[in-house]
Structure 1
Amino acid sequence: MSPDPRIDTSRPHPARVYDWLLGGKDNYPVDQTVGEALPAAARENARRNREFMHRAARHLARLGVDQYLDIGTGIPTEPNLHRIVQEIVPSARIVYADNDPIVLRHAEALLVGTPEGETHYLDADVREPAALVERARTLLDFERPVALSLIALLHFVPDDTDPYGIVRTLVDALAPGSYLVLSHGTADEHPELEAATKDSYRKGEIPLRMRTRAEVEPFFAGLDLLPPGLVTANYWYQEGDEVPPAERSGFWTGVARLS
Structure 2
Amino acid sequence: MNHSDDAAPKAPEGVDTEKPSAARIYDWYLGGSHNWAVDREFGRRVEEQWAWVKPGAKHNREFMNRAVRAALQAGIRQFIDLGSGVPTAGNVHEVIMDELGADERATVIYVDYEPVAAAHGTLILEDQDATDWAALVQADMRKPKEILRHAETKRLIDFDKPVCVLMMAVLHFVGPDDDPEGIVAQYRDALVPGSWLAISHMSYGSATGEALAGIQWFVEQYRETSNPVWLRDRDELQALFGGWPLLEPGITHLPDWRPVRKPNAIEAGARPFAWCAVAQRPS
Cα distance, 1:205–1:148 mapped onto 2, change above 3 Å: closer
Cα gap change, 1:169/1:26 in structure 2, threshold over 3 Å: closer, same or farther?
same
The equivalent position to 1:217 in structure 2, one of 216, 238, 253, is: 238
Alignment length (residue pairs): 257
Percent identity (aligned): 34
Describe the shift of the 1:243–1:226 C-alpha distance in structure 2 as closer, same or farther (beyond 3 A). farther
How far apart, in 1, do the equivalents of 2:142 and 2:261 lie? 35
| 1:207-230 deviation line (CA, Å, top 9, x unaligned) | 110111121111112211111111
Give me the whole-angstrom Cα distance separating, in 2, the residues matched to 1:189 and 1:25. 33
The 1:16–1:115 alpha-carbon spacing in structure 2 relative to 1, beyond 3 Å, is: closer
Q: Deviations for 1:76-113, whole angstroms, at most 9, x for unmatched residues? A: 11121111123333321111111110012212213556
Partner Cα distance (1:35, 1:64) in 2: 38
**Partner in structure 2 of residue 175 of structure 1:** 192
Match of 1:108 in 2: 123
| DSSP-derived class of the 2:149 partner | helix
Q: Say what the alpha-carbon RMSD is for the aligned residues.
A: 2.1
For 1:185, the equivalent position in structure 2 comes to 202
Gaps of 5+ in 1: none
Are 1:242 and 2:261 matched, yes or no?
yes
Partner residue, 1:19: 27
Structure 2 stretches lacking a partner, 5+ long: 1-8
**Please, what TM-score do these two structures have when normalized by structure 1?**
0.92
- The equivalences for 1:130-209 within 5 A come to 130-135=145-150, 136-190=153-207, 191-209=212-230
Secondary structure of 1:256 counterpart = strand
Q: Distance in 1 between matches of 2:175 and 2:133?
A: 33
Per-residue CA deviation, residues 152-197 of structure 1 (Å, 9 max, x unaligned), is 1000111101111110001100111000011111121433322111
Moved over 6 A (4+): 114-117
- Local SS of the residue matching 1:121: strand
Amino acid at match of 1:97: V
Local SS of the residue matching 1:74 = coil
**Contact 1:91–1:118 at 8 Å: present in 2 too?**
yes
The equivalent residue for 2:75 is 64
> In structure 2, what is the Cα distance between the partners aligned to 1:245 and 1:227?
24
